[in-house]
């Protein structure tokens, strides 16, 4: 997957290769994923300007993938207000809009130093999480491929600032949250969500921001995806990289990885049982809890894969921290541009895309196939193999 585009440029681009031919494409679903990324209580003004829409340029014909690279364009509707500020050609320098003092917590200062820019405008344009829009568009195609095999990916929010949800969420509850037509903080528990809203509202009042924790769950993935054979093929490592690569994510947890570090082994590892009756799962080897988050030794074990992402608070503050002007070196307040206060639900949607992408890649690596038919045949034959084991 490759992405291109600037936050206030003409459009964002996603380019996805390797999707087999014949996967049914539901553009409404792709656009709904883009919409979900734009939602949440505590978002800034931009969401009102743009409703993102995927414009598929290639790789899909008559409602199905054709095995060719899939190119997707998402137009920035705000471009008309930025054409003169951020032209492709030199343009009129008096119309340009430099970011004159770097914002702590952003790429502004290291980016300007690294690329030798006189200010942080170009840094902000690409480091911005607007880029995650492209990932969500491409990730929607990964989800469509996985759905074809009966594998689903969803997310919910378990912490906003100081407010934490302190009960487990059932898969059905998480799915219900992702289907809502009004997105607030994507917490499955209404009482906790109300307290999360109050946390965000307090930040809106004081000019501050919050972070939090989202949890992505993969449901229906059979045991055997990923491997311990080589360090760079371990599923937990691949997922951690993909989720950590999202803007503002500063820690990734697989299953109960964080609390496991402070617990005894007997309280952490998930005992193995053999079920009396077959179920919809391919094997009868089951667990009565899932602290491992569905991965042992870098391989999926047939339980739900559970990945948590920890977000730092949003860096742009309405009540800015101290900074220094790039031109005069004088002390000043950090630049402020319209900004979100809380993005945990949206980050969860972007993380779903990244998780779906990694799982789809690993599924394709294991089962292969140039067409959806061939992939499914290979996949079902493997399910039968582990059913017979």
Ligand X SMILES: Cc1cc2nc3c(=O)[nH]c(=O)nc-3n(C[C@H](O)[C@H](O)[C@H](O)COP(=O)(O)O)c2cc1C
Distance from C-alpha of 246 to C-alpha of 240, rounded to nearest angstrom: 10
- Residue 347 as a binder of ligand X (CB under 6 A): the answer is yes
Q: How far is the CB of 250 from ligand X (least distance, A)?
A: 7
Q: How far is the CB of 163 from ligand X (least distance, A)?
A: 19
Beta strands in the chain (DSSP E): 2-4, 11-16, 55-58, 60-61, 64-65, 70-75, 152-160, 163-164, 212-219, 249-254, 272-274, 285-287, 295-296, 299-300, 305-311, 322-324, 331-333
Q: Which is nearer to ligand X, 92 or 182 (CB)?
A: 182
Q: How far is the CB of 37 from ligand X (least distance, A)?
A: 6
**Number of residues counted as binding ligand X (CB under 6 A):** 20
Q: How far is the CB of 275 from ligand X (least distance, A)?
A: 40
Q: How far is the CB of 67 from ligand X (least distance, A)?
A: 31
Cβ atoms 287, 202 nearer than 8 A: no
Residues numbered 113 to 172 that lie near ligand X (CB under 6 A) are 127-129, 132
- Residue 76 as a binder of ligand X (CB under 6 A): the answer is no
Token pair for 276 = 């009396």
Residues numbered 327 to 346 that lie near ligand X (CB under 6 A) are 339-340, 343, 346
Q: How far is the CB of 42 from ligand X (least distance, A)?
A: 10
Tell me how far CA of residue 41 lies from CA of 129, 176, 183, 239, in angstroms.
17, 18, 7, 27
Distance from C-alpha of 119 to C-alpha of 112, rounded to nearest angstrom: 6
Among 316, 323, 335, 362, binds ligand X (CB under 6 A): 316
- Residue 247 as a binder of ligand X (CB under 6 A): the answer is yes
Q: Which is nearer to ligand X, 66 or 99 (CB)?
A: 99
- Residue 106 as a binder of ligand X (CB under 6 A): the answer is yes
Distance from C-alpha of 334 to C-alpha of 337, rounded to nearest angstrom: 10
**With the CA atoms of 363, 366, 371 and 373 taken in that order, what torsion angle do they form, in degrees rounded to the nearest 10?**
-80
Residues numbered 30 to 69 that lie near ligand X (CB under 6 A) are 44
- Residue 235 as a binder of ligand X (CB under 6 A): the answer is no
How many CA atoms lie less than 13 Å away from 352 in the CB half-sphere?
Answer: 33
- Residue 200 as a binder of ligand X (CB under 6 A): the answer is no
Note the residues at the interface with ligand X (CB under 6 A): 44, 106-107, 127-129, 132, 246-248, 312, 314-316, 339-340, 343, 346-347, 350
């Amino acid at each position: 997957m490759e992405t291109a585009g600037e936050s206030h440029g003409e459009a964002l681009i996603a380019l996805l290769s390797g999707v087999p031919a014949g996967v049914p494409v539901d553009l409404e679903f792709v656009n709904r994923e883009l919409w979900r990324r734009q939602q949440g209580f505590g978002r800034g003004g931009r969401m009102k300007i743009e409703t993102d829409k995927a414009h598929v340029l290639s790789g899909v014909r008559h409602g199905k993938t054709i095995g060719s690279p899939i190119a997707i364009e998402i137009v920035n509707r705000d471009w008309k207000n930025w054409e003169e500020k951020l032209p492709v050609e030199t343009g009129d320098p008096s119309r340009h809009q430099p970011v004159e003092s770097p914002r702590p917590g952003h790429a502004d200062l290291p980016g300007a130093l690294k690329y030798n820019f006189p200010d942080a405008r170009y840094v902000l344009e690409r480091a911005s999480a607007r880029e995650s829009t492209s990932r969500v568009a491409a990730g929607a195609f990964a989800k469509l491929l996985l759905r074809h095999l009966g594998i689903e990916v969803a997310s919910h929010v378990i912490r906003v600032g100081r407010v934490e949800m302190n009960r487990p969420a059932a898969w059905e509850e998480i799915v219900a949250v992702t289907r809502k037509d009004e997105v607030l903080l994507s917490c499955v528990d209404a009482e906790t969500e109300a307290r999360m809203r109050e946390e965000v509202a307090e930040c809106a009042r004081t000019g501050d921001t919050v972070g939090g924790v989202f949890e992505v769950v993969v449901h229906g993935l059979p045991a055997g995806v990923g491997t311990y054979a080589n360090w760079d093929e371990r599923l937990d490592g691949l997922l951690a990289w993909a989720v950590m690569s999202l803007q503002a994510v500063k820690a990734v947890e697989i299953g109960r990885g964080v609390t496991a570090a402070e617990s005894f082994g007997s309280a952490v590892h998930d005992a193995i049982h053999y079920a009396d009756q077959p179920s919809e799962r391919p094997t009868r080897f089951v667990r009565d809890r899932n602290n491992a988050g569905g991965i042992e030794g870098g391989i999926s074990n047939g339980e739900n894969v559970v990945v948590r992402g920890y977000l730092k608070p949003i860096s742009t503050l309405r009540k800015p921290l101290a900074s220094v002007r790039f031109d005069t070196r004088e002390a000043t307040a950090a630049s402020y541009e319209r900004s979100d206060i809380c993005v945990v639900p949206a980050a969860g949607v972007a993380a779903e895309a990244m998780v779906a992408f990694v799982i789809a890649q690993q599924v394709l690596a294991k089962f292969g196939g140039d067409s959806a038919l061939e992939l499914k045949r290979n996949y079902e034959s493997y399910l039968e193999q582990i059913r017979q084991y």
